């Protein structure tokens, strides 16, 4: 009998069915492996044989697996939170490495023992290093998606959290920005109804984030049972399709039980009733999924048992292998604070001098020149776009010349500015050069700067780096009151991993801006707004387009032999004037303009101190805990024997900066204060 050739449609259907089946089984495998890893890890903690801390993912495995397998490995990006191990495994993270991270071993990914377990990082799999600060990943995901959109890449960005994290302002800032820009982000909230011991009723108005988030226009919201494979899969598919087609962000809120404690340090019996604990255990998504698989006839019970036994064995082997991996060496503890980078200064004193220019214009020209050269540079911040070009005009003309894609206004939200800049820099292409309108308003974005940006290179064991430039007008003397006058460099200097530049003149401002743009590390430029248009000292012949100066090198702006005056920003200007005046009175002051305080050029300082034997450090910031204290300590540690007098520090008063001119003058360091201090020190 002649057999009938199957129709194309039938083959298609069979293949589809085959694909669907294998996707289903793969999901089962990932979810169960995650479960077995948990069981093994908590056993190791109980037996005191492994890591000291464990966060279990029981109940969260199905949602993580479905999401990971709905993405394309090495094409799409993942920013999974700590309870998303199934996602990490599903996207391809190596199980031995996950155990290695749990045991604090020297593994290639997941931070080389620097982060607690399950803080994922794998550059090859496009998983940027995660932190412990709940919710800080959202804006980074959004910034990353913005960069991908600018490149026209249809790669999806997955970011997950628990329900508690949605109380963070960053979550709402991220939804806002991603909707404004129609970004391909998939937000997945794994809603287990608890944040440690706090139930969702005490956490979220209305009892669920879905209602609140539905108000963001352009956000597609899915409310699904995290134990329902079919519903989860279809929500993930639709979300990925939206991201691929540049249709905008999606939010999947998956209801899951948290089966077990928040972490190995937690005892749920202190805040959950026995009935609640039992009820949550009965909602186990893995049991539900197993039942569904059997019902669908995808596996028989005995086949399932064989597979589970095999996966358990693999977990045991991975755990054993991880124990063989050595710990990181003691010597590596200070590796990767900065990404290594060498820049040769290119400053050409012999060329014919260009016209004199004030600092604000030199910054503006520097940005234009770099925009012309490198299309990967993007500028954004409050009011930076269009005709306004920033409240001081540093970015004027950029939007008109290079378009809204490259110079655009951000929402009025500093965490958004810095958080998205971090994310945008992850793609290895973009170079965000963002503006915070006044350094006084950095504080609403400080978590992204302090806890995130500064330490990403270190925390990832050198795997990730953030080439971000943050420009901030800073300082006082313009009657700006307490919120337009702050000098914040001392706070920032206590934050390893940042480079901090403080130019005092147009020449340095332009050359150092160019160096910052080339640097693979985060660089903060504190531009003194009192110097933006100052002519006498700060206006300079404009540097040529190709000129660049190394960050971390101080400049002796006046040589002298009697004492060393160390300055930066406004005090360089004041100090120089005072020193010139005192020269005529036979006091020879050597003035150093540090230009950057991180890294600090101790060599130039120590050479000068060895010559003069006396040091005065003058800064605009309040004296207590000002950066001068750090310099004084360093000098006395290094060259105490060369000192002929105690090191002196002067700064402004220890209070907020008042507005009224009389009060402002009385508060801020004045030229006369510098002069008095020099005369006193000289006579010592």
Pick the closest to residue 385 from 395, 376, 374 (CA basis): 395
**Site string (367-396) toward ligand TPP, x via CB under 6 A:** ------------------------------
Give whichever of 19 and 269 is closer to ligand TPP, judged by the CB atom.
269
Could you say which of 430, 484, 528, 667 is catalytic? 484
Does 101 contact ligand TPP by CB under 6 A? no
Give whichever of 111 and 437 is closer to ligand TPP, judged by the CB atom.
111
> How many Cβ atoms are within 10 Å of 481's Cβ, its own excluded?
16
Give whichever of 451 and 607 is closer to ligand TPP, judged by the CB atom.
451
Least distance CB 118 / ligand TPP (angstroms): 11
> How many helices (DSSP H) and strands (DSSP E) are in the chain?
23, 21
Cα–Cα dist 267/276, whole Å: 14
Q: Residue 58: how many CA atoms within 13 Å on its side-chain side? A: 23
Pick the closest to residue 113 from 90, 127, 124, 97 (CA basis): 97
Instruction: Tell me which stretch binds ligand TPP (CB under 6 A): 29-37, 112-120, 192-200, 290-298.
Output: 192-200
State the DSSP H helix or E strand holding residue 473, giving kind and residue range, or none if neither. strand 469-474
Give whichever of 163 and 562 is closer to ligand TPP, judged by the CB atom.
163
Q: Which of 42, 130, 160, 192 binds ligand TPP (CB under 6 A)?
A: 192
- Residues touching ligand TPP: how many (CB under 6 A)? 15
> What part of residues 249-288 is at the interface with ligand TPP (CB under 6 A)?
258, 262
Cα–Cα dist 275/193, whole Å: 15
Instruction: Tell me which stretch binds ligand TPP (CB under 6 A): 132-140, 269-277, 305-313, 576-584.
Output: 132-140
Cα–Cα dist 499/525, whole Å: 8
Q: Residue 340: how many CA atoms within 13 Å on its side-chain side? A: 2
Cα–Cα dist 308/442, whole Å: 51
Q: Which of 164, 328, 423, 658 binds ligand TPP (CB under 6 A)?
A: 164
Give whichever of 83 and 459 is closer to ligand TPP, judged by the CB atom.
83
Does 194 contact ligand TPP by CB under 6 A? yes
- Buried b / exposed e over 615-650, threshold 16 CB at 10 Å, is bbbbbbbbbeebbbbbbbeebeeebeeebeeebbbb
Least distance CB 260 / ligand TPP (angstroms): 11
Query: In this structure, are residues 79 and 137 in contact, taking their beta carbons and an 8 Å threshold?
Result: yes
Does 83 contact ligand TPP by CB under 6 A? yes
Pick the closest to residue 230 from 293, 144, 178 (CA basis): 293
Give whichever of 56 and 439 is closer to ligand TPP, judged by the CB atom.
56
Q: Which of 29, 94, 155, 163 binds ligand TPP (CB under 6 A)?
A: 163
Least distance CB 427 / ligand TPP (angstroms): 26
Give whichever of 50 and 80 is closer to ligand TPP, judged by the CB atom.
80
Q: Which of 69, 144, 165, 235 binds ligand TPP (CB under 6 A)?
A: 165
Cα–Cα dist 609/616, whole Å: 10
Instruction: List strand residue ranges (DSSP E) for 533-579, in order.
Output: 540-541, 555-558, 563-567
Q: Which two tokens stand for residue 43?
A: 């056993």
Which residue has its beta carbon closest to ligand TPP?
A: 162
Phi-psi region of 542 (alpha: psi -120 to 50; beta: other; left: phi over 0): beta
Pick the closest to residue 527 from 360, 358, 347 (CA basis): 360
603: Cβ–Cβ under 8 A, 6 or more apart, which residues? none
Instruction: Tell me which stretch binds ligand TPP (CB under 6 A): 20-28, 188-196, 306-314, 418-426.
Output: 188-196
Instruction: Tell me which stretch binds ligand TPP (CB under 6 A): 35-43, 130-138, 215-223, 404-412.
Output: 130-138
DSSP 8-state symbol, 626: -
179: Cβ–Cβ under 8 A, 6 or more apart, which residues? 216, 217, 218, 219, 248, 249
Least distance CB 448 / ligand TPP (angstroms): 12
Does 88 contact ligand TPP by CB under 6 A? no
Give whichever of 40 and 262 is closer to ligand TPP, judged by the CB atom.
262
Least distance CB 424 / ligand TPP (angstroms): 22
Cα–Cα dist 616/476, whole Å: 21
> First and final CA of the chain: distance in angstroms?
116
Q: Which of 25, 133, 294, 602 binds ligand TPP (CB under 6 A)?
A: 133
Give whichever of 268 and 569 is closer to ligand TPP, judged by the CB atom.
268
Pick the closest to residue 441 from 477, 478, 480, 472 (CA basis): 472
622 φ, ψ (degrees, to nearest 5) = -50, 145
DSSP 8-state symbol, 658: P
**Site string (36-55) toward ligand TPP, x via CB under 6 A:** --------------------
119 has catalytic annotation:
no
Cα–Cα dist 242/155, whole Å: 11
Cα–Cα dist 140/365, whole Å: 29
Does 104 contact ligand TPP by CB under 6 A? no
Does 85 contact ligand TPP by CB under 6 A? no
Q: Which of 103, 129, 195, 221 binds ligand TPP (CB under 6 A)?
A: 195
If DSSP codes are grouped into helix, strand and coil, which group holds residue 494? coil
Cα–Cα dist 399/309, whole Å: 61
Residue 508 CA to chain centroid, in angstroms?
Answer: 27
Least distance CB 171 / ligand TPP (angstroms): 10
Does 196 contact ligand TPP by CB under 6 A? yes
Instruction: Tell me which stretch binds ligand TPP (CB under 6 A): 113-121, 127-135, 364-372, 414-422.
Output: 127-135
Least distance CB 133 / ligand TPP (angstroms): 5
Residue 530 CA to chain centroid, in angstroms?
Answer: 29
> What part of residues 566-605 is at the interface with ligand TPP (CB under 6 A)?
none
Instruction: Tell me which stretch binds ligand TPP (CB under 6 A): 191-199, 209-217, 598-606, 643-651.
Output: 191-199
Q: Which of 70, 78, 143, 162 binds ligand TPP (CB under 6 A)?
A: 162
Does 134 contact ligand TPP by CB under 6 A? yes
Q: Which of 56, 65, 161, 534 binds ligand TPP (CB under 6 A)?
A: 161
Q: Report the catalytic residues.
A: 484
Residues in touch with ligand TPP (CB under 6 A): 83, 132-134, 161-165, 192, 194-196, 258, 262
């Amino acid at each position: 009998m002649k057999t009938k050739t199957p129709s194309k449609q039938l083959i298609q259907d069979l293949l589809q069915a085959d694909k669907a089946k294998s996707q289903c089984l793969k999901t089962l495998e990932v979810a169960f492996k995650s479960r077995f890893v948990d069981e093994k890890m908590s056993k190791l903690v109980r037996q005191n044989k492994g890591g000291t801390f464990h966060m279990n993912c029981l109940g969260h495995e199905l949602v993580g697996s479905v999401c990971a397998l709905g993405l394309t490995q090495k094409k799409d990006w993942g920013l999974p939170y700590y309870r998303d191990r199934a996602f990490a495994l599903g996207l391809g993270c190596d199980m031995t490495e996950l155990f290695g991270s749990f045991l604090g071993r020297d593994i290639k990914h997941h931070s080389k023992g620097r982060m607690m377990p399950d803080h994922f990082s794998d550059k090859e799999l496009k998983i940027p290093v995660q932190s412990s600060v709940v919710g800080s990943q959202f804006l980074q995901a959004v910034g990353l998606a913005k960069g991908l959109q600018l490149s026209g890449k249809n790669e999806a960005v997955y970011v997950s959290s628990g329900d508690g994290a949605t109380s963070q302002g960053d979550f709402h800032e991220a939804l806002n920005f991603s909707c404004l820009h129609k970004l391909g982000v998939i937000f997945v909230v794994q809603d287990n109804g608890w944040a440690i011991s706090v139930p969702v009723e005490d956490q979220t108005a209305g009892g669920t984030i879905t209602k609140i988030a539905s108000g963001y226009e352009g956000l597609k919201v899915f409310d699904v049972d995290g134990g329902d494979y079919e519903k989860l899969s279809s929500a993930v598919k639709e979300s990925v399709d939206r991201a691929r087609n540049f249709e905008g962000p999606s939010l999947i809120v998956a209801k899951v039980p948290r089966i077990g404690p928040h972490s190995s340090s937690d005892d749920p019996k202190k805040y959950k009733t026995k009935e609640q604990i039992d009820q949550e255990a009965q909602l186990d998504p893995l049991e539900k999924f197993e039942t569904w698989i059997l019902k669908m006839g995808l596996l028989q019970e005995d086949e399932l048992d064989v597979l589970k036994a095999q996966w358990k064995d693999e977990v045991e082997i991975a755990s054993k292998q991880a124990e063989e991996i050595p710990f990181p060496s003691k010597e590596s503890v200070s590796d990767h604070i900065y990404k290594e980078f060498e820049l040769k200064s290119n400053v050409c004193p012999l060329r014919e001098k260009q016209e004199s220019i004030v600092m604000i214009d030199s910054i503006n020209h520097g940005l234009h020149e770099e925009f012309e050269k490198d299309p990967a540079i993007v500028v954004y911040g409050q009011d930076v776009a269009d005709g306004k070009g920033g409240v001081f005009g540093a970015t004027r003309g950029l939007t008109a010349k290079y378009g809204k894609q490259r110079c655009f206004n951000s929402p009025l939200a500093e965490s958004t500015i810095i958080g998205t800049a971090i994310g945008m820099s992850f793609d290895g292409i973009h170079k965000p050069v963002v503006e915070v309108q006044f350094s006084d308003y950095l504080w609403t974005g400080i978590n992204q700067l302090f806890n995130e940006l500064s330490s990403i290179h270190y925390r990832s064991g050198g795997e990730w780096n953030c080439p971000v430039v943050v420009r901030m007008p800073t300082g006082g003397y313009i009657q700006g009151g307490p919120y337009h006058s702050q000098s914040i460099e001392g706070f920032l200097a206590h934050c390893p991993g940042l480079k901090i530049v403080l130019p005092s003149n147009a020449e340095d401002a332009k050359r150092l801006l160019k160096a910052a743009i080339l640097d693979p590390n985060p660089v903060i430029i504190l531009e003194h707004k009192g110097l933006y248009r100052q002519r006498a000292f700060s206006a300079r012949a404009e540097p040529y387009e190709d000129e660049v100066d190394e960050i971390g090198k101080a400049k002796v702006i006046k040589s002298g032999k009697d004492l060393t005056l160390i300055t930066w920003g406004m005090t360089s200007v004041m100090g120089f004037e005072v020193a010139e005046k005192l020269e005529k009175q036979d006091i020879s002051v050597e003035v150093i303009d540090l230009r950057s305080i991180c890294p600090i050029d101790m060599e130039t300082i120590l050479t000068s101190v060895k010559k003069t034997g006396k040091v005065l450090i003058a800064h605009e910031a309040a004296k207590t805990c000002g950066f001068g204290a750090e310099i004084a300590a360093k000098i006395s540690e290094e060259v105490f024997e060369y000192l002929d007098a105690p090191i002196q520090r002067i700064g402004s008063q220890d209070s907020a900066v008042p507005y009224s001119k009389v009060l402002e003058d009385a508060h801020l360091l004045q030229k006369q204060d510098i002069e008095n201090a020099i005369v006193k020190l000289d006579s010592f």
